[in-house]
Structure 1
Amino acid sequence: MNSAAPSPGLPSRLSLYLNLIRWDRPAGTYLLLWPTLAALWMAADGWPGWHLLLVFVLGTFLMRSAGCAVNDVADRDFDKHVKRTAQRPVTSGQITVRQALTLGAALSLIAFGLVLTTNAPTILLSFAALAVTILYPFTKRWVSMPQAVLGVAFSFGIPMAFSAVQGGREWSLQAVQASVPLAAWGLLVANLFWVLAYDTEYAMVDRDDDIRIGIKTSALTLGRFDVIGIMSFYVLSLGLWALLGLQLGMGHWFLAGLAVAAAQVVWHYRLIKDRTREGCFRAFRENHWVGFATFAGTVLDLALR
């Protein structure tokens, strides 16, 4: 007896959308989340309250998911030439460009709804954060180190955390400046260097494919200095976190967390020094533990005063 092939149902369609937003790969969300939460604890001088915690945890997940949708649309013509990405839903045609952008817009709107529950300076900063998030995927065509743009996008939660805690009701750039101390902007730069480190590790995985299809990455720009470049980015990141954290009143438990992070960086060097795809990808995938160590040190330091 012949039967028609089953048509795609809700579960299969849902799985495609979950694949699009990397539901099964939460490491990217953690990379965004830990430095943002560390900044939130610093800004609040301890427990920030359930409201702001939920806003930043959910907002981080939503914006990372939206960013994945936009990234896959922008990279669809490149991804089909890379074995690791060829089966992504947009690249393979299982989800249309319009559907992906609609999902990305919907997730962004929900995240913006969360931001609206904070204050005026944070809402103003959210527009800049969204602009950088949308811009990043397209910079791979003309910026030699697009990971630096990603670093800004992945670090914007830091000043937003400070403004959410310390901001008021005034709608002005002066209000933003008043609610975000200079040290918080410095932490954005510190985190940018961390993003440069781990995303260069990620770019090393696809180096051969990226050369063939003609996109720009920090791994290609650094060339044979890629490993020393990554380690330099790590040192700059951890050094700035330490210096700026001390300026913001952090103490020895915070520094202990950074020491644990530094120990992991030494392990990452062992993973990437031979430039194998497996080692570089594992180093990238495990990087969120570096961020977690920094966050844990921050929480402990403020809790045990």
Structure 2
Amino acid sequence: MNTSTRHDLSDIKLGDWVDRRLPSALRPYTRLARLDRPVGIWLTLFPCWAALIQASHGIPDFRLFIVFSLGALLMRSAGSTVNDIADRKFDGHVERTRFRPLASGQIGVARALIFLVAELALAASLLVFLTPYTRLVAICVLPLVFIYPLCKRFTYWPQAVLGAAFNWGMLMAWSEVHGAISVGALVMWLGAMTWQIGYDTVYAYVDVRDDARLGLKSTALLFGAQGKIIIGLFYGVTVLAWSIGGWMTGMSLPYTIGMLVIAVHLAWQTWRLDLARPEINYRLFLANILTGLLLAAAAFAGTL
């Protein structure tokens, strides 16, 4: 397939800044960590920042802000590396992932594993700045990080596992600031999970034909032609959970207004969704960066 065509669905664009500006030795590691595709970083950071703001009931301590931001970046990168190692034999047969470093042979498994150990070591070094309880909470996410890539082989719900792991920083934020994870914090985290099930299912529809051919599972394959309705329901549960969680964590009226804006934005996404047009679904997946930004902004407004 010509990679310059408009509807090429590869998530790696050859000839981008990685190819133009980085030494060849660094390129596969940059792509392995997804630094060239920062959407996942933002989708991890914004819920984490929102939780820090809610838990701090205002602007969080700058030290915590830096630690949690670096932690989200490193763990998202490590999770991506684990995923690429586990899926290396499938990715080369999927249009969206065919240029990934392991699938295309740019890097071997041994070097990818060494890189993963380095990522995890850097992430672990941040734990010295956190309380013992938060360290324990952080360690508990590791099984989810390693199990997720295997889930698509035996369950149609890998997106749920990913949602739990991706948003784990929200729980850590509350444990660090308050020394406990409140019920309201759990409700916010569950809302982030349903949000991720929704937007990652939109993403999965990009790969649905390749996944079916390879015998892999996803919520997109499970929902089938009813995906638009079911994604809308998950988005509706998200807004409800975040509204209730915000009330339980003491958010003020501006937070509620923020939830209404998010509701409109997610409703627009659902309306625009076209299961038969992967290029539209990919753009709608990217639109959730704005959803995360709106959540963080609503949390800040709710502390005023």
TM-score (norm 1): 0.90
SS for the counterpart of 2:101 is coil
Shift of 1:116: 2.1
CA contact (8 A) 2:203 2:282 kept: yes
Corresponding position of 1:200:
201
Which residue of the other structure, out of 43, 49, 59, is the alignment partner of 2:71?
59
Structure 1 unpaired stretches of 5+: 1-9, 168-178
Number of matched pairs: 284
Shift of 1:104: 1.7
> How far apart are the structure 1 equivalents of 2:118 and 2:173?
23
CA contact (8 A) 1:155 1:192 kept: yes
Which aligned pairs between 1:103-114 and structure 2 lie closer than 5 A?
Answer: 103-114=115-126
Corresponding position of 1:135:
147
Runs of 4+ displaced beyond 3 Å: none
Shift of 1:100: 1.3
| 1:191 paired to 2:192 | yes
SS for the counterpart of 2:107 is coil
Corresponding position of 1:226:
227
Larger Rg: 1
* Aligned residue type for 1:298: A
CA contact (8 A) 2:227 2:275 kept: no
> How far apart are the structure 1 equivalents of 2:242 and 2:100?
36
* Aligned residue type for 1:117: F
> How far apart are the structure 1 equivalents of 2:187 and 2:119?
29
CA contact (8 A) 2:187 2:244 kept: no
> How far apart are the structure 1 equivalents of 2:288 and 2:237?
16
> How far apart are the structure 2 equivalents of 1:211 and 1:153?
25
* Aligned residue type for 1:124: L
| Deviates most, 28-37 or 264-273 | 264-273
Corresponding position of 2:3:
none
CA contact (8 A) 2:225 2:275 kept: no
Shift of 1:274: 5.0
* Aligned residue type for 1:24: D
Q: Deviations over 1:176-235 (max 9, x none)?
A: xxx111221222211110010000000001111110001000000111111111111100
Which aligned pairs between 1:77-116 and structure 2 lie closer than 5 A?
Answer: 77-116=89-128
SS for the counterpart of 2:130 is coil
Shift of 1:160: 0.4
TM-score (norm 2): 0.90
SS for the counterpart of 2:129 is coil
CA contact (8 A) 1:144 1:221 kept: yes
Identity over aligned residues, as a percent?
40
Structure 2 unpaired stretches of 5+: 1-21
Corresponding position of 1:28:
40
